[in-house]
Structure 1
């Protein structure tokens, strides 16, 4: 199974180093010297990590065969992909791979059904669980222990304690969309026409850290 473990950022210096946006809780394992990674786009790789170091809080990598700034800059925005055994689990019981979280049922601490996880969004400052609601709407839950106190893989369930207003805002947005659609339908009827148009589409962290 393939997992995205990092995204290459801008070139650093003139000797081929690049900054990377880490997307794994195990960078020392996935992004260590000697690691061979597939890429997206595939034409950019595979890439073998020659060396790595931390500079000003950012991980810098150098790849074999990438010797100057131009070559490093050409890799910008490339995704780095590691091959992982699907049975493998993170060492930390509070960490999870994306594939473990996908399709988990989401309920609140009082048992209210919210929906199902269909995407994990990795942002620079935190990860978000993107939850599909039964009515077709979406809600994004920050993946921190304060708001996601329990992940039960055996029961295939994520228990959330969302911040005040988060679910209300999602429901209000859905209600507003439905109202707009209904009003649009009534306007069409009042015109007496039948001109139908196609629809248009508009690693949990501890909060103490």
Structure 2
């Protein structure tokens, strides 16, 4: 289902936690605990949830969502993405971007040749990496650094990259 208009995905329900309707809530926020402050969160189907974090657990939080009272209800929500209205999210500094804003942008090299489209923004702990899908070719991975990505033009829906030689193959 499509992302709700003017919303950004801030987390997902990874399944039930316990027997009283608690969920395992994965946060996609820079400050993971901030997810509760953006509530109520909405699902792709339009269902709205208040959020109360109970405690951190490995890779997520044990949380209570309004209206979720049983383990069966919590388990039925597994895989549900949760969205916050964009205006509730914190403002960004210059040269900072929400991942959702980068996905789908057209990528060009410094010579103006189209390379592809940003499919994902990956973060494996050492910094963000742009995954660029190319028609008829293998995707390329580009470090999201100022040296490798000198221009991000959100209004123009484009990114200019100067990838390291090993990324450009």
Q: Larger % of strand: which?
A: 2
Bigger-Rg structure (1/2): 1
CA RMSD in angstroms, aligned pairs only? 3.7
From 25, 29, 32, the counterpart of 2:30: 25
In structure 1, distance between residues paired with 2:38 and 2:139: 40
How far did residue 8 of structure 1 move? 0.9
In structure 1, distance between residues paired with 2:30 and 2:148: 17
In structure 2, distance between residues paired with 1:12 and 1:56: 12
Structure 1 runs (4+) greater than 6 angstroms displaced:
123-127
Q: Give the TM-score of the pair, scaled to structure 2.
A: 0.67
Q: Which runs of 5+ in 1 are unaligned?
A: 169-209
Q: Give the TM-score of the pair, scaled to structure 1.
A: 0.57
Distance change (3 Å), C-alpha of 1:148 and 1:105: same
Residues 16 and 24, structure 2, Cα contact 8 Å, conserved in 1: yes
1:1-209 alignment, distance < 5 Å? 1-25=6-30, 27-29=32-34, 31-33=35-37, 35-42=39-46, 45-85=47-87, 90-93=91-94, 95-101=96-102, 102-107=104-109, 111=111, 113-120=113-120, 129-133=130-134, 136-137=136-137, 139-141=139-141, 144-145=144-145, 148-153=148-153, 156-162=158-164, 164=166, 166-168=167-169
Q: Larger % of helix: which?
A: 1
How far did residue 38 of structure 1 move? 1.5
Instruction: Indicate the residue corresponding to 1:190 in structure 2.
Output: none
Aligned residues: 160
Instruction: Indicate the residue corresponding to 1:200 in structure 2.
Output: none
